[in-house]
Amino acid sequence: MSGGLSAPTLGKHSGETVGIVSYGTYIPRFRITPDEIGRVWGADGVGMGKNLNIVRKSVPAPDEDTITISTEALRVAIARGGVDPKDFGAVYVGSESHPYAVKPTATVVAQAVGSTPDITAADFEFACKAGTAAIQTCIGLVASGMVRYGVAIGSDTSQGAPGDALEYSASAGGAAYIIGRENVIARIDGTASFTTDTPDFWRREGQRYPTHAGRFTGEPAYFRHVTECAKRIMHRMSTKPEDYQHVVFHQPNGKFPQRAGKLLGFSEEQMKYGLVTPWIGNTYSGAALIGLANVLDHARPSERVLVVGYGSGAGSDAFDITVTDAITQLDRSVGTPVEHSLQNGVNLTYAVYAKFRGKIRLPGED
């Protein structure tokens, strides 16, 4: 196999350990159910929820956005890892809902955690896989010695057009990963990507809601990229599905990752912690990374995790991760465990949801 990011530049081959030093997540407190959404549109919300395997989705408060979610997630990661934010060399935020079309999310986040000014920062956009792309970038910077720590965040407050199928799943949340070589709680031993020009989902400049290509988003887009990427990394790492205790897929709904797992030969047990979308919805750039966080919340030393992200447009990034002994030293009690957010929240009516999501406009707004 040629091209792309390949495993031999990392980890076990070079003798250099690069991996996750700490991580944190942030999932807003509010929820809405498919039933409630369907009620407003005269649709079978319960049926829709079943089809998508979505019980409820998270909703950001009116004062939350990708910048605040990213900041909160990173603050948890910093507190857990006891890392000095001044030692960060890079902060990258991947999202498809950056609050500004022009002006970085990453600068606000870096400033809010006290990392500025001796740092490089940028926003990434690649639909739902901007966060995993940021992790790959950080791996490169750390492995090359250009930075001591790199921060990669995947975070979104995504919107589906009112009444559209996406409205049942598009939610909000984010995860932050501090990538480094010291006190690594989970080694990243390999990464791979699979990328093509496949227009399954997009949002044009100035448009309020994204557009998707219906059933085209399935086979040629999500499934092809996720399975091809998974196969490539397992080929490179010489692994089989049974070598992993946990697998995490990008999860635009609760069904797609289950099917991808089945196609690749993973069991439900392996997907148990990595699948979070049914209880919080699709957090887009946050989705696979929150799934990984839930795995790490539960993981024991030496457990191996396969992560396969996906972003429309389209591409997949995969990571082969092995949890180290250091995870027992990480203070996982800091911040809110993902599990808590899967089970708790405050349900909203569609009316309040519409207000929170800016679907109700005040005079003077566009």
Question: How far is the CA of 150 from the CAs of 11, 111, 119, 342, in angstroms?
Answer: 16, 15, 10, 28
**What is the size of the binding site for other proteins (CB under 8 A)?**
37
Active site residue 225: no
Q: For residues 276 and 270, is the Cβ–Cβ distance under 8 A?
A: no
Print burial letters for 159-185: b (CB count within 10 Å at least 16), e (below 16): bbbeebbbbbbbbbbbbbbbbbbebbb
Spatial distance between the Cα atoms of 366 and 356, rounded to a whole number of angstroms: 16
Q: Which CB, 76 or 288, lies closer to other proteins?
A: 76
Stretch binding other proteins (CB under 8 A), from 60-68, 145-153, 158-166, 173-181: 60-68
Q: Is the peptide bond before 165 cis (omega within 30 degrees of 0)?
A: no
Site for other proteins in 75-104 (CB under 8 A): 75, 99-100
Q: Which CB, 1 or 362, lies closer to other proteins?
A: 362
Q: Which two tokens stand for residue 32?
A: 């809405």
Active site residue 138: no
Active site residue 340: no
Q: Which two tokens stand for residue 27?
A: 């999932």
Spatial distance between the Cα atoms of 264 and 297, rounded to a whole number of angstroms: 25
Does residue 353 interact with other proteins by CB under 8 A? no
Site for other proteins in 27-46 (CB under 8 A): 29, 31, 33
Place of tokens 């890079």: 90
Does residue 63 interact with other proteins by CB under 8 A? yes
Stretch binding other proteins (CB under 8 A), from 89-97, 125-133, 183-191, 338-346: 338-346
Stretch binding other proteins (CB under 8 A), from 111-119, 122-130, 240-248, 284-292: 111-119
Stretch binding other proteins (CB under 8 A), from 195-203, 283-291, 318-326, 336-344: 336-344
Radius of gyration, alpha carbons of the chain: 19
Task: Give the interface with other proteins as residue ranges (CB under 8 A).
Answer: 29, 31, 33, 55-56, 61-65, 67-68, 71-72, 75, 99-100, 108, 111-114, 279, 336, 340, 343-347, 355, 358, 360, 362, 364-366
- Catalytic positions, please? 96, 128, 250
